[in-house]
Amino acid sequence: MGLTPAGDERELLAGVAERDHQAFRTIYDNYGRKVYTYALQLLHSAAEAEEMVQEVFLKLWLMGDRVREITSLEAYLRTLTKHRSLNVLRRMVLEGKVEKALGKDWREETNDVEDEILIRDVRNVLNRAIDALPRQQKEVYILCQQQGLKYEEAAERLGLSPLTVQTHVKRALKSVRSYVREHTDIAAILIILKMM
C-alpha cells in the first residue's frame, strides 16, 4: 500500500522538508500501519508499537531538509523502526522485562543472521528459566505473562484465587529474572545490539 512512483515519494519528502502538513499526512497514511506492524513483530507490545509509530514519524518530521536524502522511504522507515525497537528491547532487558519482550512466540523478521542467533540464544535462556519454575508458577507465568490473561482469568482457569495467581506471578518473575541474569551476558548482548 506504499507510494509507488519514485517521483511521488520524492515530491512528498520535499513537501515534508518544507513543512507541508498534507505531504506528511500522506506519508503517515501510507506507512503508519507498516511501521506499527513491524514494531509489533519486534516488541510484542501494542503500546510500545504505538509509541514507536509516533517516535519514527516525529523523527521523520524533525529531519528537516535532510529528509530529501532518503532514497527509499519504506526501507528507511523499516530500518529506523528496527534500530529504535532494539533500543527499546535493550531498555527492557535492563529493566528486567526481557521475558515479556521475548515471549514464547517471539521471533524477529529479519535476514540478519547475527540478530537471529542472538535472539534465539536469549529466548533459549528464557525458556530454560521458565521450564525450571515449579509446575504451578510455570502454568501461571505462561497464562499471565505470555498469553496475556488477567489474574482473575488465570485464577478461574486454574481453580485458584486471584491473590494466589498474583503471588505465583511475582515469584515466577523474580525467578526468571534471576535465571536470565545469571545465564546471559547482558553486557555482551548490549554491545552486539549497539553494533547493528
Q: Write out pLDDT tens, residues 96-155.
A: 554 555 554 444 444 455 556 666 666 777 788 889 999 999 999 888 877 778 889 999
Region 29-42: mean pLDDT is 90
Final residue before a domain boundary, out of 50, 73, 95? 95
State whether 88 and 114 are in the same domain. Answer: no
Residue type, 161: S
> What is the pLDDT at residue 76?
93
Query: Which of 34, 65, 95 finishes a domain?
Result: 95
Q: Read off the DSSP letter of residue 64.
A: G
87 within a domain of the structure (yes/no): yes
Domain CATH number, residue 180: 1.10.10.10
Instruction: Tell me, yes or no, whether 132 lies in a domain.
Output: yes
Are 120 and 69 members of one domain?
A: no
Q: Are residues 91 and 103 in the same domain?
A: no
Q: How many domains does the chain have?
A: 2
Mean pLDDT score of the chain: 78
Same domain, 103 and 187: yes
Query: Contact, 176 vs 131, CB < 8 A?
Result: no
Q: What pLDDT does 190 receive? A: 44
**Are 141 and 59 contained in the same domain?**
no
Instruction: Tell me the pLDDT band of 83, cut-offs 50, 70 and 90.
Output: confident
Residues 119 and 156 in one domain: yes
CATH number at residue 87: 1.10.1740.10
Are 83 and 105 in a shared domain?
no
Residue 150 is classified by DSSP as -
* Alpha carbons 112 and 105: distance in angstroms, whole number: 19
- The owner of cell 524477529 is 108
Q: Are residues 79 and 150 in the same domain?
A: no
Within a domain: residue 46? yes
Q: Are residues 60 and 83 in the same domain?
A: yes
Of 73, 95, 117, the one marking the end of a domain is 95
Would 1 be classed as within a structural domain?
A: no
Helix (H, G, I), strand (E, B) or coil at 81: helix
CA 175 to the chain's CA centroid? 23
Q: pLDDT tens-digit profile of 173-193?
A: 888 777 766 766 544 444 333
Domain that holds residue 167: 99-195
> Could you tell me if 36 and 114 lie in one domain?
no
Lowest-pLDDT range, 5-9, 88-92, 116-120? Answer: 116-120
Residues 13 and 26 in one domain: yes
42 part of a folded domain? yes
First to last CA, the chain: 28
The C-alpha atoms of residue 131 and residue 1 are separated, in whole angstroms, by: 42
Say if residue 130 is in the same domain as residue 190: yes
3-class SS at 10? helix
pTM: 0.49
**151 in a domain, yes or no?**
yes
